[in-house]
């Protein structure tokens, strides 16, 4: 069992999910409240990773991070090393790759909340921030949990983007799915099977927990359709 | 200190088919906004609350300007200090009654917050519910909680969007009594939206009739509702019978005129209006103002009595709707007891009795 790959993958998934909560929530909020007529444009960009081949996404992320791009140069001048083939680079690529899995369930949940409740909160003098934390978030917690779990599970299993951006450096960018690929290539079927089974069981358990949790959440607040 | 008057003058185009264009003033006390669904009532409240921004106009509460398109003032919703009771109440489903009521006063110190909440719970008799969630209490109780949640913030004006439509009459009138008692000590403008003329009649100190986005009439309820000047108002405020007629004779000294209904020989004596003999007029009569007799009535003060035939009898809750053919078709509302006493049934010959002053003259819609 390649424990270093497992811990690296878990660390990556947790970091990505935490980042997505911070980055994805405002995007989801904006998407569900804006009346901007070009909003579909932003929706398409957020959803792009759903349809794009991971190699294409990985390729562009790699180019964008490379030492020839302004972003890559800026990062290099800041830290002294480049982003490609590092854990940080991998994390950034994963955040982009999993963005729709976090944003879509949250945006859907925010849109489900009765707008009169939001209006009631404002007319009672609450700021937007307070309305968000006191009314919108508690009533959309199911969607937020779903977004968190889906992006977690999605990050655990990603392969193409990791390979393009991170390569295969043990302890730095070698995730479980890469390790499985490696072991299969080396004809170590028993080792690959152990890792694959672990990933399968983990994914199944997280999804089961999410769905059971969501049902409970909706049973407590039946007004949320 | 004299309470502030809410003055509203706004234009707001929602679509090519519908635009709200309204101007009125609401001093302290109940102002009823009456009109059919789709007449612009909720849009009006949304503009005042700030949920929607009017295209142009001015909304002010006393000296405080909430919205002014000329001066580019549009106060944020949270700063308007208004109370709003939504049609669906919009109680926070995940919070208890106590948390709901304290939602708008969180900035106060804890002990004052609690004192204010308890006073509110007391006035609306819901102190026993504080630990419950909204889905664990009855419709009437939810209504009281929604009122208490709005009023505990001491709003400068209160808006109620058809708040009591789902409640039975007894519950409704108890809640209104409590609201009126509260209003006696906190004089603020209360805008009460309803599509029920009965409610407008019973409650309002002033009535604003809103249809198709326009104000058709405003003023004292008796004035607006009993002498409808436009045909649309007559329908809005519940005149079930509207007839076209021609003036046949005028009795100036009696203050009456005799009019013949179109397409029939039936003549009605109506109050004198600004009309010449031969002029076309419209007459509106409430279904509840028409009496029915099984035999020719005698010794009556009512000037109009004529024969007709019962066409149909339909029960609607506690009242019975009887359609009677007497030259024109009259809709009459009776009690179930009256139906039994008169042994009314379809095809039966009856006499209709209508007082002169139950006949309201209506101007055709200005279109």
User: Is B108 an 8 Å CB contact of chain A?
Assistant: no
pLDDT value of position A69:
86
User: Is B88 an 8 Å CB contact of chain A?
Assistant: yes
Instruction: Work out the pLDDT band at A219, boundaries 50, 70, 90.
Output: very low
pLDDT value of position B222:
62
Q: Which of these three, B205, B236, B267, is where a domain ends?
A: B236
pLDDT digits (tens, 9 = 90+) for B332-367: 999 988 888 889 889 999 999 999 888 887 655 443
Task: State yes or no: pLDDT of B199 exceeds 80.
Answer: no
Nearest CA in chain B to A119: B51
Q: Please tell me the distance from the alpha carbon of residue B241 to that of residue B327, in angstroms, as a whole number.
A: 13
The dihedral through the CA atoms of A223, A207, A111, A15 has a sign that is positive
pLDDT digits (tens, 9 = 90+) for B305-317: 999 999 999 888 7
pLDDT digits (tens, 9 = 90+) for B275-301: 788 888 888 888 889 999 988 888 888
pLDDT value of position B225:
61
Asked if A9 and A175 touch (Cβ cutoff 8 Å), the reply is yes
Domains and CATH numbers, chain A: 3-34+85-218 (1.10.3720.10)
Give chain B's end-to-end CA distance (angstroms, integer): 44
Best A115, A116, A125 member to test B by mutation, with max B CBs in 10 Å, is A125
Q: What share of chain B is helix, strand, coil (3-state, %, to 5)?
A: 30, 35, 35
Residues B36 and B80 reside in one and the same domain: yes
Residues B223 and B245 reside in one and the same domain: no
Residues B32 and B141 reside in one and the same domain: yes
- Provide CB contacts within 8 A for A113, sequence distance 6+: A135, A136, A139, A140, A224
Q: pTM above the 0.90 mark?
A: no
Best B77, B96, B149, B159 member to test A by mutation, with max A CBs in 10 Å, is B77
Interface touch B92/A125, C-beta < 8 Å: no
Instruction: For this complex, say whether ipTM is above 0.90.
Output: no
Task: State yes or no: pLDDT of B230 exceeds 70.
Answer: no
Q: Which of these three, B236, B255, B288, is where a domain ends?
A: B236
| Residue B33, token pair as written in the block | 């906004």
Q: How far is B2 from chain A (nearest CA, A)?
A: 24
Q: How far is A146 from chain B (nearest CA, A)?
A: 19
Best A123, A126, A137, A139 member to test B by mutation, with max B CBs in 10 Å, is A123
Residues B264 and B228 reside in one and the same domain: no
Residues B124 and B268 reside in one and the same domain: no
Instruction: Work out the pLDDT band at B168, boundaries 50, 70, 90.
Output: confident
| Residue A162, token pair as written in the block | 């990791």
| Of B18, B9, B77, B68, residue with least CA distance to B46 | B77
Task: State yes or no: pLDDT of A13 exceeds 60.
Answer: yes
| Residue B283, token pair as written in the block | 């007459």
Domain-located, residue B1:
no
**A29 three-state secondary structure:** helix
Residues B104 and B201 reside in one and the same domain: yes
pLDDT value of position A24:
94
| Of A165, A145, A157, residue with least CA distance to A199 | A157
pLDDT value of position B228:
60
Residues B231 and B262 reside in one and the same domain: no
Task: State yes or no: pLDDT of B20 exceeds 90.
Answer: yes
User: Is B51 an 8 Å CB contact of chain A?
Assistant: yes
Residues B132 and B245 reside in one and the same domain: no
pLDDT value of position B227:
59
Task: State yes or no: pLDDT of A147 exceeds 70.
Answer: yes
Residues B115 and B142 reside in one and the same domain: yes
Mean pLDDT of the region B14-34? 90
Of A11-20, A206-215, B75-84, the poorest mean pLDDT is in: A206-215
Residues of chain B in contact with residue A127, where contact means CB-CB under 8 angstroms, are 78
| Residue B218, token pair as written in the block | 């405003």
pLDDT digits (tens, 9 = 90+) for B86-132: 999 999 999 999 999 999 999 999 999 999 999 999 888 899 999 99
Instruction: Work out the pLDDT band at A225, boundaries 50, 70, 90.
Output: very low
Q: Please tell me the distance from the alpha carbon of residue B95 to that of residue A138, in angstroms, as a whole number.
A: 10
Task: State yes or no: pLDDT of A70 exceeds 70.
Answer: yes
Range of the domain at B286: 241-362
Interface touch B93/A122, C-beta < 8 Å: no
Interface touch B51/A119, C-beta < 8 Å: yes
Other Cβ atoms closer than 10 A to A48: 15
Mean pLDDT of the region B232-251? 81
Give chain A's end-to-end CA distance (angstroms, integer): 45
Task: State yes or no: pLDDT of A217 exceeds 60.
Answer: no
Domain-located, residue B322:
yes
In the block, residue with structure tokens 């109680």:
B91
Distances (CA, A) of A189 to A1, A204, B5: 12, 22, 82
Interface touch A120/B86, C-beta < 8 Å: yes
pLDDT digits (tens, 9 = 90+) for A178-206: 899 989 999 999 989 999 998 899 888 88
Residue-averaged pLDDT of chain B: 87
Q: Which of these three, B189, B215, B236, is where a domain ends?
A: B236
Interface touch B83/A123, C-beta < 8 Å: yes
Nearest CA in chain A to B155: A124
Instruction: Work out the pLDDT band at B48, boundaries 50, 70, 90.
Output: very high
Of A76-80, A128-132, B324-328, the poorest mean pLDDT is in: A76-80
Residue B250 region by backbone torsions, left for phi larger than 0, else alpha for psi between -120 and 50, else beta = beta
Residue A41's Cβ-count burial label (10 Å; 0-12, 13-18, 19+) is exposed
Residues B264 and B345 reside in one and the same domain: yes
pLDDT value of position A28:
94
Residues B232 and B296 reside in one and the same domain: no
- Per-position b or e across B230-260, b if 16+ CB within 10 A of its CB: bbbbbbbbbbbbebebebeebeeeeebbbbb
Residues B150 and B250 reside in one and the same domain: no
Interface touch B103/A116, C-beta < 8 Å: no
Nearest CA in chain B to A128: B78
More confidently predicted of B181 and B170: B181
- CATH number of the domain encompassing residue B22: 3.40.50.300
Total domains, chain B: 2
Domain-located, residue B215:
yes
Task: State yes or no: pLDDT of B1 exceeds 60.
Answer: no
Element (H, E) at B10: strand B6-13
In A113-168, alpha helices (H): 115-123, 128-131, 137-139, 141-157, 160-165
Domain-located, residue B128:
yes
Q: How many CB pairs under 8 A join A and B?
A: 63
Domain-located, residue B66:
yes
Mean pLDDT of the region A108-121? 94
pLDDT value of position B364:
54
Residue A171 region by backbone torsions, left for phi larger than 0, else alpha for psi between -120 and 50, else beta = left
Domain-located, residue B367:
no
Best B50, B66, B75, B78 member to test A by mutation, with max A CBs in 10 Å, is B78
Mean pLDDT of the region A8-24? 93
- CATH number of the domain encompassing residue B261: 2.40.50.100
More confidently predicted of B232 and B99: B99
Task: State yes or no: pLDDT of A38 exceeds 60.
Answer: yes
Nearest CA in chain B to A136: B92
Q: Please tell me the distance from the alpha carbon of residue B240 to that of residue B292, in angstroms, as a whole number.
A: 16
């Amino acid at each position: 069992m390649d424990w270093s790959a497992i811990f690296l993958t878990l660390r990556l998934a947790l970091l990505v999910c935490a980042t997505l909560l911070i980055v994805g929530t405002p995007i989801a909020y904006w998407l569900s409240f804006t009346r901007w007529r070009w909003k579909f444009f932003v929706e398409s960009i957020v959803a792009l990773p759903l349809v794009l081949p991971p190699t294409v996404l990985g390729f562009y992320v790699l180019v964008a991070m490379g030492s020839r791009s302004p972003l890559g140069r800026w990062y290099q001048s800041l830290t002294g090393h480049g982003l490609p083939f590092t854990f940080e680079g991998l994390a950034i690529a994963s955040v982009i790759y999993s963005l729709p899995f976090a944003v879509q369930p949250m945006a859907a949940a925010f849109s489900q909340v009765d707008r009169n409740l939001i209006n009631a909160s404002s007319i009672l003098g609450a700021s937007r921030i307070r309305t968000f934390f006191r009314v919108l978030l508690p009533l959309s917690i199911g969607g937020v949990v779903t977004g968190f779990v889906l992006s977690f599970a999605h990050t655990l299993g990603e392969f193409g983007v990791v390979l393009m951006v991170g390569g295969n450096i043990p302890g730095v960018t070698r995730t479980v799915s890469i390790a499985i690929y490696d072991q299969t290539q080396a004809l170590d079927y028993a080792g690959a099977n152990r890792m694959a089974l672990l990933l399968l069981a983990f994914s199944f358990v997280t999804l089961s927990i999410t769905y059971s949790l969501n049902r409970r959440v909706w049973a407590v607040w039946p007004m949320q359709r | 200190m004299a309470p502030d008057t809410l003055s509203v003058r706004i234009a707001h185009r929602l679509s090519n088919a519908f635009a709200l264009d309204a101007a009125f003033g609401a001093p302290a006390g109940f102002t009823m906004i009456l009109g059919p669904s789709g007449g612009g009532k909720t849009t009006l409240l949304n503009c005042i609350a700030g949920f929607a921004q009017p295209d142009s106009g001015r909304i002010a509460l006393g000296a405080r300007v909430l919205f002014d398109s000329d001066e580019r003032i549009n106060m944020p919703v949270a700063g308007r200090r208004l109370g709003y009771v939504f049609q669906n109440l919009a109680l926070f489903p995940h919070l208890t009654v106590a948390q709901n009521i304290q939602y708008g006063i969180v900035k106060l110190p804890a002990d004052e917050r609690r004192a204010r909440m308890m006073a509110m719970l007391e006035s609306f008799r819901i102190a026993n519910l504080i630990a419950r969630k909204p889905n664990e209490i009855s419709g009437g109780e939810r209504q009281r909680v929604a009122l208490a949640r709005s009023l505990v913030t001491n709003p400068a004006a209160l808006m109620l969007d058809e708040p009591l439509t789902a409640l039975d009459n007894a519950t409704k009138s108890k809640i209104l009594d409590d609201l009126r008692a509260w209003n006696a000590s906190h004089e603020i403008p209360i805008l009460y939206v309803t599509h029920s003329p009965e409610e407008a009649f019973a409650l309002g100190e002033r009535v604003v009739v809103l249809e198709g986005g326009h104000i058709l009439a405003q003023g004292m309820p008796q004035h607006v509702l009993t002498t409808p000047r436009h045909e649309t108002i007559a329908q809005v405020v519940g005149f079930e019978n509207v007839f076209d007629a021609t003036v046949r004779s005028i009795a100036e000294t009696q203050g009456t005129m005799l009019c013949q209904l179109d397409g029939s020989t039936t003549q009605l004596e109506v109050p004198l209006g600004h009309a010449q003999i031969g002029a076309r007029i419209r007459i509106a009569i409430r279904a509840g103002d028409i009496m029915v007799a099984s035999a020719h009535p005698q010794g009556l003060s009512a000037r109009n009595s004529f024969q007709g035939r019962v066409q149909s009898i339909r029960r609607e809750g506690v009242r019975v709707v009887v359609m009677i053919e007497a030259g024109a078709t009259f809709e009459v509302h009776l009690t179930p007891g009256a139906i039994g006493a008169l042994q009314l049934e379809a095809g039966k010959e009856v006499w209709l009795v209508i007082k002169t002053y139950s006949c309201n003259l209506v101007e055709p819609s200005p279109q």
